[in-house]
Structure formats: C-alpha cells, structure tokens
Amino acid sequence: MKRFLLILILLSSAQPAYATPEIPSTFTFKGSGYGHGVGMSQIGAKGQALEGKSAQDILTYYFPGAAVTPVDNSQIIRVNVAHQVTAAALTISSQANDCSFGLASEVQPIQQVVPNSKLTFTMIGKQVGVIAKAANQAPVPFTAASNWTISWTGTDCVVLLKVGTQTMKLKYGSITVRSVPITGKGYKIEVVNSMRLSDEYLYGISEVPSSWPMAALESQAIVSRTYALSRIKNVRKDCDCNVYSSKYDQVYIGYSKEAEPKYGVLWRNAVQATVVETSTALAITYNGVPINVYFFSSSAGQTQRSIDVWGTDIPYLTSVPDPWSLDPKLNPKYANWVRVISQKQMAEVFGLPDVVSYSIALRSKTDSVMKITGTSSSGKQKTISVSAFKVPLKIPSSWFDLPAKIALPDSSTVVSN
C-alpha cells in the first residue's frame, strides 16, 4: 500500500504545472471605414460625383426608394453654440457701416449696442448678468435676467462668440443667452443661434471639405437640410435648441465655413443650388415626407442596414455597394486602418480584470461586428455590443478583423474565417 501511494505521488509530481495564459500588453485591430455606415457615404458621394453623377443620382442611390423633392423652407432653426457654460462673451463687430445691434431681456427693453462692443455674460445665481464694454468707455452693467436676446440688421455684420479659448463667428439671425436648470449642476448658460434653416444654417455646416466636386457638396447640403427638418419640431430642454453645433447632430462652425479662402464660396454656391425658390428647397423624401436621414464618412465597401445598427428596419436605410470607400486615393485615412489598444483599455471596456483574447461573437450581413467577446486569464468571458466596445476605444468603424476574401477562377469569392 505504501509503495502504491509512493507511485501515485511520483506520477502526480511528474504532471506539468498549469500554465497561466500569457496576458498580451496590446491588441492590434485592422479595419476599414469610418462611422456607423448607415445612409449616405460621404466618400462614396465624392467618388460618384467625380464619375459625373448628379446629387439626385447620389442620394437616390444611397436611399433606395426615396426621392429628392422641393419642400417648405420657411422654418427657423435653433442651433446650440455653447452648452452648459458659466460665462460667454459676444463681440459686436462689423465690416460695413450699416450694422445696427440691439440687446433685450424680459426686464430690459431693446437697447442699441455700439458696434465693436463686448458683451460679457455670467451666471449670477439663477440669472444671467451682462456687462457691456465699448472702446474708450466705462463698462455698463445691466440688470440680471433669465433670458437675453441679441439681434442685428445690416449687410456684413458679424458677432464673435467666445467661450473659454474657443471663438465662433456668427452672421445670421439672432442669439439668445438663457439660464437653464441642469440636474445636479444648478443653473448654466445655453447660447443659441436662431436663423433660417434652408440656407443660413446650411452655410455654416462643415461636414465635408468645400473643395469637393459640386455634386458631392450639393448632396451634403440636401442631406444636412433633411437632417435638420427631422429635428425642427422639438426644442430640447437640455440645450434650449433643435440641434447642437457638434458632431452629435451636425458640425456647424458658423460664418467661418463660407468665409474660407478660395473654397468657402463653393460651399455657399452648392447650398444655393439646392434652393428651388423663395419658399421651397430640396430635401430627401419618402412618400412625400422628409426622411429620417443618416450619413457617415466611409464604409468597408458596403453600407449598413439600419436594422443591424439600431434594431429598426427602415426601407430606405438598407445596404448598397460602396466601393469608393475602399479606394485609397479617395479615402487615404480610412480605406484601411490599424489601431493598437492597450491591455488596460481592453480590460476596462470588457469590465474584466484582464483580457488574454477576444473573438467576434456576431457579424452583420455586411461583415460589420455586432457583438464581441473578451476572455480573461481566469477563463471568465463577457460579450458586449460593438458600440460599447468601439466608442470608448475610438475604433473608427464596426468593420474590423474582416474575413479574408479569396478570389476564385470564375471571379466569385468565398469567405475564409
């Protein structure tokens, strides 16, 4: 019996020790495209424009079943240009002598403001205080109020909005500076620029370079107008606006867009080309109604279906070929990209103590990632959505670790995993 136990002990000691999986210090991801992939590919629009396609050709291609038609363009849109700030400064300037500026609030009748004056707005309790300072004059304080309006008339009047170190040039409409209660933060300032949606707002949209072909610029102008129309009915309480000026809606940079040297006039002309007459302008419609439009930078050769990205099947947001996005001449940054992610970042995004490997748990019909699984050194696994993965890690698109395409003699392809 003792001899038997000794043999067991010797056999046991001869077994190899359990090897702890190696924990990589980094992970490398390779992919294509930039953005969510639904709707109009901006690189694709550029590629088609270079091939001679019109804006209508481009838009009806990326939104199958939709049409480009004239719609009412009389709406005023409220664009948030400063969100939840404690102070903002407006410098009233002019490039002509016919500019006239006014300042008013619920307790202050409209009062003329000397051109080149600086208006400084700051929070005072629940209200906004204002101090006006003109050149060579003493500062003039105004009674604090919850809502201020700055308006102007004239040919080339420009208002410079400065918040912190950021400055924006505004030329159209009027500006409101309002005190808004923010849950857990007290009262903050919201600055909103109100102007005509049809053209004045679009002049400041900076989603594509103004040097692009005219048909691509017109496509973007029509898409951007359609996007704004879908948001015009609701004023959001959190920003006192219809849309933000950031990428969370559309990038709006004000007068700086059309004032770009050499190319700014091309963007303005493209916007003007989409205005049919005084009361109508072109938008993308489905059954006569402006669509819920989406656009993005580039794909991995095929646009996404809305059902795969957001779970809702919309007939005009389906998948179409987008080969222009894979052209490195048209899309040098994102036709192919590589991102290196650290171990710490991977562990944090999966909520695991560490990550030794990952696998693609689910792909869409266009090979975009929908779910991804991380595995820790202890064997614990966690599966998360692609948005929960790529957004915090700043992965350009959901098209990564793409299956290899193997060309066959008859020019068809098979997928090799």
Among the listed residues 369, 344, 362, the one whose alpha carbon sits nearest the alpha carbon of residue 31: 369
How buried is residue 16: exposed, middle or buried, by Cβ count under 10 Å (0-12/13-18/19+)? Answer: exposed
pTM of the model: 0.88
Among the listed residues 242, 287, 286, 283, the one whose alpha carbon sits nearest the alpha carbon of residue 73: 283
Distance CA 227, CA 38 (A): 14
How buried is residue 284: exposed, middle or buried, by Cβ count under 10 Å (0-12/13-18/19+)? Answer: buried
Distance CA 290, CA 293 (A): 8
Distance CA 174, CA 178 (A): 13
Among the listed residues 125, 38, 25, 93, the one whose alpha carbon sits nearest the alpha carbon of residue 308: 38
pLDDT by position in tens, the chain (length 417): 555 444 444 445 544 545 678 999 999 999 999 999 999 999 999 999 999 999 999 999 999 999 999 999 889 999 999 999 999 999 877 665 678 889 999 888 888 887 778 899 999 999 999 999 887 888 888 989 999 999 988 878 889 999 999 999 999 999 999 999 988 888 999 999 999 999 999 999 999 999 999 999 999 999 999 999 999 988 988 888 999 999 889 999 999 999 999 999 999 999 999 999 888 999 999 999 999 999 999 999 999 999 999 999 999 999 999 999 999 999 999 999 999 999 999 999 999 999 999 999 999 999 999 999 999 999 999 999 999 999 999 999 999 999 976 444 443 343 443
Q: Is the dihedral of CA 345, 350, 356, 361 positive or negative?
A: negative
